[in-house]
Structure 1
Amino acid sequence: MPDKTTTVAELRDALRRFVDERDWQQFHTPKNLAMSIAIETAELMEHFQWLSPAAARDLPEADLQNVREELADIFCYALSFANAMGIDVSDAVREKMIKNAAKYPADRVRGKLGV
């Protein structure tokens, strides 16, 4: 399922089927999913906790695989959260990008941190 050929809807449907097949809907509440996103994000952060910026960009293959799995966990929980809340992810991202573009105009913030 490469990014170039997989839609958000396909991923959401795959996750919905996975959850349904296991009868986990009862546990996939917005609260539990939000907490799971935070927990998995902390697990991702752990892989970078004491690394220099250079080392973080050049992870050994085994560490990169672990990072990839944590990112997948975060993304799966985020899409499951969208399913539980009825949020259209593409619309939400597009709307947020419009807000961010207005808040951080490229000509004013280009190359600046903490603006």
Structure 2
Amino acid sequence: MDIKALQAVLQDFADARGWDKFHGPKNLAMALSVEASELLEIFQWLSDDAASRIADDEVSKQHVAEELADVAIYLLRLADKVGVDLEASIQAKIIKNGEKYPAELVYGSAKKYTEY
């Protein structure tokens, strides 16, 4: 995924519609939360088993795909607006999480790092 290219496409999309004035960090963060909630709503009343099989139903899978895309779009826009290199941030966070959650200590456990 070329994050910078996607951010440029999203900027052009917003510019062509005069929407950039609505895409400040606060509004983008709120929109990201709303879209994440819409994704969560798909799974809200499903059992764990039914949620695990959602990809087996093409209509449900497409709905999930659209909500994931909305989340990603707002995430990319927000990162762009606040000057965060999302790829570098993700890589740094993976390293940090690896230090907080060493595999030999947490394998098979869902405990938070403060619990071991």
What RMSD over aligned residues (CA atoms) do the two structures have, in Å? 1.0
The 2-side partners of 1:36 and 1:48 are apart by: 19
What amino acid does structure 1 have at the position aligned with 2:58? E
CA displacement, residues 19-49 of structure 1 (integer Å, 9 cap, x when unaligned): 1111111000100000001000110001001
The question of 1:29 aligning with 2:31 is answered no
Aligned residues with identical type, % of pairs: 44
Selected match of 2:62 from 62, 65, 77: 65
Q: Residue 97 of structure 1 aligns with which residue?
A: 94
| TM-score w.r.t. length of structure 2 | 0.90
TM-fit CA distance, 1:63: 1.2
Aligned length: 110
Q: Residue 47 of structure 1 aligns to a residue in which SS?
A: helix
Q: Map Cα deviations across residues 84-114 of structure 1 (whole Å, 9 max, x no partner).
A: 1011001111111111111111111111012
Distance 2:18 2:89 in 1: 28
* 1:1-115 alignment, distance < 5 Å: 6-59=1-54, 60-115=57-112
Q: Could you state the TM-score of these two structures normalised by the residue count of structure 1?
A: 0.91
Runs of 4+ in 1 over 6 A off after TM superposition: none
One-letter code aligned to 1:40: E
Show structure 1 runs of 5+ residues with no match.
1-5
The SS at the match of 2:21 is helix
